[in-house]
Amino acid sequence: MIFSWNEDQIDLYQQAAQFARTKLNQSIIEDDENQQFSQSRWKACGEMGLFGLTIPEKYGGLELDTLTSAFMLEGFGYGCKENGLFLSMGAHLWAVATPILLYGSEELKQTYLPKLTSGDWVGAHAISEPQAGSDAMAMSTHVEFKEDYVILNGRKTFVTNATVADLFLVFATSNKKHGFAAISGFVIEKGTPGLSVESKASKMGTRTSPMADVVFDNCRVPIKNLLGKKNLGFKIFTRIMQWERGLILAPFIGAMQREMERCVEYANQREQFGKRLAQNQAISGKIVDMKVRIEAAKLLLYKAAWDLDHGDARLSSSITKLWTSDSAVHTFMDALQVLGGYGYTTEFEIERHLRDAIGSKLYSGTTEMQKMIIANEIGLKT
């Protein structure tokens, strides 16, 4: 096992951090307040290559291995203070572009991947429904197969990027009674008759990342937009969730690192009762806990990224997601406490990180669902 990065990897980490720090950190407080998605930040990320990390060069990507991509995303998070972008980017990258790469026909790859990797288009992934959240395979959205097209009817909910998306990756069932064996996945363009976006949600955190319902009313989709084969949806969903769970929180690890360093600086200079905050073990202990959580999260991230390239990441991606989401919430809560009253103010931006982190315990499968997957993987008869 080699525990070091090569010069190219370090360079990519630093470039991503520097890009984010200098180009992306303006007017985030206002955008958070107004729940505003930034098209210009999105486009800049595309130009930087961040939407094409693991995508082959022939489709406009950087063709990096997954471990290097994860490290670059960590660097991005170290520089970027807009956590909503992490979520929008994660959904676009791991739950739309990657499944098209892994399961799409050559025609689908050529049509959509260059638009997604450049950032000209935004992708959204729609599986959750009002009555089928954690139990996603209990979905009701129905697909009827005709000769060279399909007809979809139903409603998806909590769809990240829905209001700004150009392409939707949607799962539907051809027979609800057959459960996971009747699920198929499709890519559907914005503007397809019968597809509409409704009920934009107002949320606690990641407010710059829009979320809404997607409704299908006799929506006719060409059969060539089927991902993989008919009824292969469960397999596709299971595999792409490994990508999403393993990698979606990589930028949060960089963000935790940055906020920990800020706490070190603050605790070393702020004095109360005639001594530095750092001299109180109650405070330094919190910052040490941050460091331990971050180091563990990094190793889990790298393991999941390595597994994604070399085999099955079912267990490692769930452990990574579980640990990193919990760690982010605890780290930002501790950071807020270290910064005292200032930490509670909007200007200090830590309260926003805390609000943003809480959502990570819900999307891509809740904390409870990750524990259920881990329990199954270690042989517990659940």
Ligand X SMILES: Cc1cc2nc3c(=O)[nH]c(=O)nc-3n(C[C@H](O)[C@H](O)[C@H](O)COP(=O)(O)OP(=O)(O)OC[C@H]3O[C@@H](n4cnc5c(N)ncnc54)[C@H](O)[C@@H]3O)c2cc1C
Residues marked as catalytic: 244
Q: CB 206 → ligand X: shortest distance, Å?
A: 5
Tell me the CA distances in angstroms from 343 to 83, 213, 289, 353, one per residue in order.
Answer: 17, 34, 18, 11
Nearer residue to ligand X within complex by CB, 85 or 260: 85
Q: Which of 152, 155, 95 is nearest to 125 (CA)?
A: 95
Q: CB 130 → ligand X: shortest distance, Å?
A: 8
Nearer residue to ligand X within complex by CB, 155 or 262: 155
| Cα distance between residue 210 and residue 202, in whole Å | 8
Q: Is 382 exposed, middle or buried (0-12, 13-18, 19+ CB in 10 A)?
A: exposed
Q: Which of 173, 45, 208, 190 is nearest to 112 (CA)?
A: 190
Q: CB 93 → ligand X: shortest distance, Å?
A: 12
Q: CB 307 → ligand X: shortest distance, Å?
A: 22
Nearer residue to ligand X within complex by CB, 232 or 372: 372
Q: CB 158 → ligand X: shortest distance, Å?
A: 4
Nearer residue to ligand X within complex by CB, 235 or 291: 235
Q: CB 367 → ligand X: shortest distance, Å?
A: 6
Residue nearest ligand X by beta-carbon distance: 133
| Cα distance between residue 291 and residue 227, in whole Å | 42
Q: Which amino acid is at 9?
A: Q
Nearer residue to ligand X within complex by CB, 284 or 364: 364
Q: Which residues bind ligand X (CB under 6 A)?
A: 91, 125-128, 133-134, 158-160, 206, 211, 359, 362-363, 365-366, 368-369
Nearer residue to ligand X within complex by CB, 14 or 36: 36
Q: Which of 283, 301, 151 is nearest to 218 (CA)?
A: 151
Per the DSSP assignment, residues forming a β-bridge with 189 are 167
